[in-house]
Amino acid sequence: MASELLPPIEGLWMDERAHRYHFRGDWLPFSSTGIVSDLSPQAREQIMRTKDGPDGWAVRGTSVHGILEQHLLHVAGAGDPAAVDVHWEPWAESLTTHWLWRGCTVLAVEYMLCDPIRRVGGMFDFLVCTADGLTVLGDLKTVRTAAALKSRKPAAAQLGCYAAALGIWWPELTVDRCVTLVSAPGECEVKPQDTATCIAAWEEAWERHQAAELARGF
């Protein structure tokens, strides 16, 4: 059904090439993804090896996120469905027909927000009110195979950052559930978590980040 989307936060924007957020005259030094990342150097190296190319995770993530964004904007009455490249049809079909969107009200899509005290910026993928009345905050992850879908961990701390920041800007809005939506070719799976659990994971990640900053002498 058509819905009224949350208005953007005034004065917040992102330099996409640098992936840095700017808020009311100030570059924010931190991003949600940067703080919650706890990959080992070996894991980072492996990720960078699989980033580029026609089947790399960078183009896959950008393409599939764009498909979902256009689909949800269309559900909200704010745009047309995206034309889907044949290469991404196996991801698109199961993603856009997922039960989560049936009868939902779309509240936000690819929404930028920040914590101005901690100086952290971020962008979540979707916020919807489901057909049964639950407000659900979600992050989309894409994987190359159905096997990888099963092993993909929920983005608890990242979702907790978004939920906490939403509470700063929209205190009247209660997030009932956080979900990591994992999209694979021909299959899409929701991994739900309690909002409080995600916020606790975010607080732990923030504490680790602060400890690391102190250890580096900042």
pLDDT for residue 37 is more than 90: no
Looking at residue 28, its pLDDT comes to 97
pLDDT tens per residue, range 51-102: 545 565 578 879 999 999 999 999 998 878 778 889 889 999 999 999 999 9
Confidence (pLDDT) at 147 = 86
Mean pLDDT (whole number) for 180-208? 96
pLDDT score, position 85: 85
213: pLDDT confidence band, cut at 50, 70 and 90? Answer: confident
Q: How far apart are CA 54 and CA 61, in angstroms?
A: 11
Instruction: List, as one string, the DSSP characters of the chain.
Output: ---PPPPPPTTEEEETTTTEEEETTEE-SEEHHHHH----HHHHHHHHHTTSSTTSHHHHHHHHHHHHHHHHHHHTTSSPPPPPPGGGHHHHHHHHT-GGGTT-EEEEEEEEEEETTTTEEEEEEEEEE-TTS-EEEEEEEE-SSHHHHHHPPP-HHHHHHHHHHHHHH-TT----EEEEEEEETTEEEEEEE-HHHHHHHHHHHHHHHHHHHHHTT-
Region 148-173: mean pLDDT is 95
Q: Whats the size of the chain, residue-wise?
A: 218
Q: What is the pLDDT of residue 38?
A: 65
Give the pLDDT confidence score for residue 57 in this predicted structure: 56
User: From CA 127, how far away is CA 101, in angstroms rounded?
Assistant: 11
pLDDT for residue 79: 79
Which stretch of 48-57, 120-129, 144-153, 177-186 has the lowest confidence by average pLDDT?
48-57
Select the highest-mean-pLDDT range: 26-40, 44-58, 72-86, 149-163: 149-163
Say whether pLDDT at 112 is over 90.
yes
Q: What is the pLDDT of residue 40?
A: 44
- Within 10 angstroms of residue 17's Cβ, the number of other Cβ atoms is 6
pLDDT of residue 80: 81
pLDDT of res. 50: 52
Distance CA 95, CA 67 (A): 9
Distance CA 50, CA 31 (A): 23
Share of the chain above pLDDT 70, in %: 89
Q: Report the b/e string of 79-99 with b at 16+ CB within 10 A.
A: eeebebeeebeebbbbbbebe
Phi, psi (deg, nearest 5) at residue 169: -90, -30
CA atoms within 13 A on the CB side of 196: 0
